[in-house]
Structure 1
Amino acid sequence: MPIVKLYTNHKVTENFAKDFTTFLSTTLNKPNSSIFIIIKDQEKLTVGGESDDRIVVLELKAVGIINNTSNVGFSQAITNYLTQAIDVKPEKVIIDFALLDPGFVGKSGTTVEEMQKSKQ
């Protein structure tokens, strides 16, 4: 159940959310229905005090799939996608990965940890 927050100083297209969800589903090997995305476009963002270029700050939180090894591939794939979809330079994309504890994520009136137990 990945949770993604994307901030950019650029206006994204109307189809971006759907297309990005499909991309993340494939990249993270998770169903579309499990991916939650918040998109904040046209935000005031700077890098080094400058805001002339397009910038993307992305937070990716998930249970179980975030680790030092997988993050390298995720970072490369997501950055490549965003350079095409938003026309942002790779050096203007920053990704904050966070591993979520399933006992601290609520969904459907319970926690992910309890949902995982019921599947066993």
Structure 2
Amino acid sequence: MAAAPALLAGEIPPDARRSGYSFMGPDTRAVAQGRDLFMRREGQLNLACTNCHDDNFDKRLAGAPITQAQPTGYPLYRLEWQTLGSIERRLRSCMTGVRAQAYDYGAPELVALEL
């Protein structure tokens, strides 16, 4: 007897799910979109978030530590801003740093990256 091929949760038809819940709700889609954005190269420098935050974490860039992209510490104070700033402000600043077009505040792309 041949084994049945494994299905991903998003591939199981809704009527075949025992719980009746959708596994690809809006939050799950946003997380997947954020992962894709994190890996996508952008800007004149052709860099993706992963190039710094995965490949070079625990090093320094212009005197500031490169973290593993954990947004849990926001809002935080940055000397360059002279005030508290949100994760959206930091993401936009980073995008400007790689010479990419920054998303507008509240844009779905920024929300997906935050997740």
The structure with the largest alpha-carbon Rg is: 2
TM-score (norm 1): 0.29
| Structure that is richer in strand per residue | 1
TM-score (norm 2): 0.29
